[in-house]
Amino acid sequence: MRDSFFMDEIIDILDEFGNYTGKTCLKSIAHKYGYFHPTIHVWLYTSDYKILLQKRALTKKVFPGLWDISVAGHIAAGENTIIGAVREIQEEIDYTINPDDLYKIGVRKHQINHNNGIIDNEYHHIFIAELKTPIEDLIIQKEEVDEIKLFDLQTIITTKNLKNILLPQYHDYYSFVYDKIVEKLK
C-alpha cells in the first residue's frame, strides 16, 4: 500500500493529442497548469453481471464521496499503462491481477476544470477485467477509498437516475464500458 508521501507522483506530460512529449512533472503541477497526462481506468466485473465500484475518500480533492470507477489512477513517469493499472489495483483494493487478465477497450480524452482550481486534462487508458476473488477479501487503501461494493452491472447505464453514483454527464462513456463488459461475458 502506498504512503501519503507518494501521492504527488511524477507523471509524464502528453500533448493535446495524447502523444508523449518526453517531459515530466509532479501531478500537482499538471493539475495546476492543465498539462495532459495519462491515467488508467479499470472496471472490474463479475461473471454474474455485477460491477465493483469504489466510494472515493472524503479527503479526495475531486469528487469526494462519489461512487466511482472500480480503480482509477495516474500512470507514473515512464510506466507502462498495463503495469500502472496492475499497480493501482494492488494499491487501492489490494487485489493482485495478472496483466493478461486486463483487457484494454480504449483510450478516452477527458478535460474538466474543477471548482477548486484543478485542471484535469487526461487521457484515460480504459481496461476491463473479471474480478475473480470475493469482495470480502479485498482491502481498501483508506487514503483513496472509503468503501467498495458490488452493484448490478445495469447501474452504469442508469446513472441519469442515480444520486452520487458515477456522473450522469459521462453516460455515453459508461454505456461504452457496459457494452464491452457484456461482450466479454457472452
- For 63, phi then psi, to 5°, come to 50, 45
pLDDT score recorded for residue 1: 38
pLDDT in tens, 143-175: 999 999 999 999 999 977 777 889 888 999 999
pLDDT score recorded for residue 127: 98
Domain 7-185 listed as CATH 3.40.50.1370 = no
Cell of 12: 509524464
Q: Mean pLDDT of all residues in the chain?
A: 94
pLDDT score recorded for residue 7: 67
**103: β partners:** 128
pTM here is 0.93
Planar angle of CA 117, 3, 32, nearest 5 degrees = 15
Q: Which residues contact 1 (CB under 8 A, 6 or more apart)?
A: 91, 94, 141
pLDDT score recorded for residue 17: 97
Is the pLDDT at 23 greater than 50? The verdict is: yes
Each domain of the chain, given as residue ranges in start order, spans: 7-185
Is the pLDDT at 4 greater than 70? The verdict is: no
